[in-house]
Structure 1
Amino acid sequence: MPFINSITPIFYRLVKYINASGMAALLATVGVIGFSSASLASEAPAIAAAANIKFAVDEIATRFQQQTGLELRISYGSSGNFITQIQHGAPFEMMLSADEGYIDKLHQAGFTQDEGIVYAIGRLALAAPKASPLILDPELVGLRQLIDDGKLSRFAIANPDHAPYGVSAREVLKAKGLWDALQPMLILGENAGQATQFTISGSTQGGIVPLSLVLTPEFAKRGNYVIIPDVLFQPLNQRMALMPQASETAERFYQYMQSNEARQVLTQFGFNLPKPVVKQGD
């Protein structure tokens, strides 16, 4: 998927709603599908998506475009930041959140067509660069040992203030009694994608990040991971919804995200799945 390499009038319509603190993160994580003069002319819908689903949604959106000929403009970032942008008028037609609470907040304020639907259930991984001294295990025993030995200097998670995966990482660390001890060592990513970059860049000894972002060949070349037990954090029910002004293309992609094909892709990237919605008459 190409990244933005030029500024266009339609992109200006989006970025004028983004505050300065969030600009660098957005520009670093925006992915664009079919970003061309033809797609701009047809007003391909702008879709906000949580950073943790980038690789899965890139694949799903590519299949959608191949099957329908319809193009999308997908921006990746933290769910909390997208909420603020939408409330201030950003022209998104659909949002795929990393947490259902954010969609509920938008719905209660009248920014979505309805309460939306859970499309995936997120999972967490403890990850580290290959050269890290951190011994990876599901119960974080190795992390505790590294802290006790005074050998941990930096550890990455997404910012809990606006990133659901950061909230869940904090829950895990509190459940294991490590949160207070880690405070001086924490490196906070603007979103889950940035936290994952910090985790494998060599600037940290490890981090707690979305499982979906470590199940890639690129990560495998640079890092290792173990899956964190789901019982250590509240379910990450990822919900999506359409905005009132959603176009037919956005509505079709919303339906496609619920298809068996899309659900199979989500499974490949480590997500658990909600039960499919049974429509009346089925």
Structure 2
Amino acid sequence: MNLARLAIGLTLVVGLAICTCKAQEITIAAAADLQSVMQDVSARFQKETGKTAKLIYGSSGNFFQQIQNGAPFDMFFSANLEFPKKLEAAGLIDPGSFYQYATGKIVLLVPNDSKIDVSSGLQSLLNPAIKKVAIANPQHAPYGQAAVAAMKKENIHDKIADKLVLGENISQTASFVLSGAADAGVVALSLALSPTVKDKSRYVEIPISDYPPIEQACVILKSSQQRAVAREFLNFIKTPAITELFRNYGFDIPSASTTK
């Protein structure tokens, strides 16, 4: 009888521990340009609070569709303002959680061993030696849309359209360049500065006047079962230390970050 009671007691303790653990974890859908910086943010958040942010990366457009269809995310870090604003208009976010956290930049990336001179920026893509140019799919990736806008601004888009190779997201786009599947690519500066990319490649920044600002916002989803932890993470993002971390990865921070 005592053993039976002990077993029941242990089961209850373990069950409570599992529930407590889950209550301390949030799941975040994050745009692929955030892969390195958010890993650092998540690690610091866990160290300081003991709570976990589980990160899932992909294209903002795909996440937007998934969230509309009921995907169980707690937060959404988009690579634009449009998708979070549409979710807000649809009543799918926690009121007051809209936050514009950063503005991204794009660069022209080539592997370290490339013989191609990219000092002239996007005009370098007219070089006949460049056969394939990787960009994120502009149908659902804001960084892909910025790449197309910059190419059109420099009047080269139509001339190189048949060279374009589309990545599912900006992270896959960088992988195409590093693997040799593309000779060059237009990627997020944040990825070019990430540990997994910067030692294997070189880049030149594309003038910000060539494309609309890549303003990025996050929201807490109304369907979240962990809104308290999500709010804590949102406040953590706004701290000076994390703001500086974003700057270190090449992001600009709005002078007055927008919270609704």
Q: Same fold (TM over 0.5)?
A: yes
Structure 1: give runs of 5+ residues left out of the alignment: 1-36
Match of 2:118 among 133, 136, 144: 136
Task: Tell me how far 1:38 sits from its aligned partner.
Answer: 7.8
What amino acid does structure 2 have at the position aligned with 1:217?
P
Q: Structure 2 CA distance, aligned partners of 1:193 and 1:87?
A: 23
Aligned ranges for residues 65-144 of structure 1 at < 5 Å?
65-114=46-95, 116-137=98-119, 139-144=121-126
State whether structure 2 residue 166 is matched by structure 1 residue 188. Answer: yes
- Measured in 2, the distance between the counterparts of 1:221 and 1:277 equals 32
Distance 1:197 1:87, change over 3 A: same
Which of 227, 240, 257 aligns to 1:260? It is 240
Q: Which amino acid aligns with 1:131?
A: D
Deviations 1:230-262 (A, max 9, x none): 111000100111111332111100111111111
Q: Deviations over 1:177-222 (max 9, x none)?
A: 1111222111100001101111221121101100000103332332
- 1:204 partnered with 2:182: yes
Question: C-alpha offsets along residues 131-177 of structure 1, whole Å, 9 cap, x if unaligned?
Answer: 32331125423222x1xxx3221110000000000000000111111
User: Aligned pair in 2 of structure 1 residues 41, 104: CA closer, same or farther (>3 Å)?
Assistant: closer
Identity of aligned pairs, percent? 33
Would you say how many aligned residue pairs link Structure 1 and Structure 2?
239
One-letter amino acid of the counterpart of residue 83, structure 1: F
Q: Indicate if the aligned counterparts of 2:99 and 2:258 stay in contact, CA closer than 8 A.
A: no
Query: Which residues in structure 2 correspond to 1:202-281 (within 5 Å)?
Result: 202-246=180-224, 247-277=227-257
Contact 1:39 1:71 in 2 (8 A): no
In structure 2, C-alpha distance between the alignment counterparts of 1:134 and 1:264, rounded to whole Å: 33
Report the Cα distance in structure 2 between the residues aligned to 1:218 and 1:50, rounded to whole angstroms: 17
Report the CA distance between 1:113 and its aligned residue.
2.0
SS in 2 for 1:112: coil
Query: Cα–Cα, structure 1 residues 234 and 44, in superposed 2: closer, same or farther, change >3 Å?
Result: same
Higher gyration radius (CA) = 2
Letter of the structure 1 residue corresponding to residue 139 of structure 2: D
Conserved? CA contact 1:199–1:205, under 8 Å: yes
TM-score (norm 1): 0.80
Q: TM-score, normalised by structure 2?
A: 0.87
Corresponding residue for residue 60 of structure 1: 41
Q: Distance in 2 between matches of 1:87 and 1:159?
A: 20
8 Å CA contact 1:154–1:206 kept in 2: the answer is yes
Partner of 1:10: none
In 2, Cα distance between equivalents of 1:169 and 1:39? 44
Higher RCO, 1 vs 2 (CA within 8 Å, ≥6 residues apart): 2
Whether contact under 8 Å (1:157, 1:189) holds in the other structure is yes
Give me the CA root mean square deviation.
1.9
Separation in 1, partners of 2:104, 2:182: 23
CA distance in 2, matches of 1:41, 1:77: 23
